[in-house]
Amino acid sequence: MVVRAVRCLYVDLDGTLLGPGASLLRGSNGAFSGLGVRALEACSRAGAEVVLYSGRKQSSVFEAARLIGSSAYIFELGCGLVIDDELEWLTGGVVPSAERSTIFDQIAASGAPALLLERYAGALEYHTPWSIGREVSHLFRGSVDLDEVGLLLAARGLEWLRLVDNGVVREHAEQMPGLAIVHAYHLVPAVASKARAVARHMQARGYVPAECIAVGDSREDVDTADVVDRFWLVANALERDPALATEVSGRAHIRIAGEPYGAGVYEAVVTTLAEGSARRRA
């Protein structure tokens, strides 16, 4: 079997492919940069599929995928996977239905969001306006101890849910000025994850780990390293959350890009392609 250097790139949107202001054409310090587009072009030339994986809601990721010409995408932190217009929920037995309404509504009915907002008042709040109109996850911003949250949920019989750190919120100074660092958190069914969604897409397409790479900027993205050949962390992730450097140090299959945002994605793609070419020549 011939293994290509890259058959698929899994790439996060905000803080990764998209620069400041969620712009595909902005890089470090908001300066114009086309390197994110060049990364996509490099994938196209190499015959590699590009799959967006994001914490955004489905409609938003759909529009981004359509913009770049991608036929598959992962939304709400791996809760949903769309391949060639076919939607698959990756939320275990928690699925939307006419009787049970949306997964978002089912999570709300469990009392978990109200519990967290009450227990962590001042340290956790809904991440408006992006928390509005979601199908699955309850999206918060703040700063909490995830281990402590896990114990709290379990103690209330809510172990079927987990709170996930999806990276540092850039505009934290205006949103929650009392906190030094503000993270975006998603409350999702415990079985759901970006890594699980990536693995499911690979299975559906017939890809093997050696042919796939992923690029992101958060702890949830980092876990994708367990299912692909190489995970790349863009440089701006460490600028916003320096503790990440220690957490990923020594972990197999993880590399840190020297460049931020789309430039870091471009670095990941061209480096992987170049190293693959070098291996074939050897």
Report the pLDDT value the prediction gives residue 177, as an integer from 0 to 100. 81
Report residue 115 as tokens: 């519990």
pLDDT of residue 147: 97
Q: How many CB atoms lie within 10 A of CB 279?
A: 10
pLDDT at 2: 46
Determine the angle formed by the axes of helices 112-119 and 146-155, rounding to 10 degrees: 130
Q: What is the pLDDT of residue 175?
A: 73
Question: Quick one: pLDDT at residue 174?
Answer: 65
Residue type, 188: V
CA distance 28 to 16: 11
Q: In the prediction, which pLDDT does 170 show?
A: 67
Task: Let me know: does 165 contact 185? Beta carbons within 8 Å.
Answer: yes
If you ran DSSP here, which 8-state letter would residue 19 be given? B
Asked if residues 104 and 138 have their Cβ atoms less than 8 Å apart, the reply is yes
How many whole angstroms separate alpha carbon 212 and alpha carbon 207?
7
Tally of residues, the chain? 282
The DSSP element (H or E) to which 165 belongs, if any, is: strand 161-168
Nearest CA to 232 out of 265, 207, 206 is that of 265
pLDDT of residue 278: 63
The tokens describing 136, both together, are 């699955």
List the strands of the sheet with 254-256, edge to edge. 86-89, 80-83, 72-75, 49-53, 8-11, 212-216, 230-233, 254-256
Q: Are 193 and 77 in contact (CB under 8 A)?
A: yes
Which pTM was predicted? 0.94
77 with 55: CB under 8 angstroms? yes
pLDDT at 148: 98
Please list the ranges in the chain whose pLDDT falls under 70.
1-4, 100, 170-174, 277-282
Say what the pLDDT of residue 137 is.
98
pLDDT in tens, 116-165: 999 999 999 999 999 999 999 999 999 999 999 999 999 999 999 999 99
What φ, ψ does residue 65 adopt, rounded to 5°? -65, -40
Tokens coding 160: 């079927």
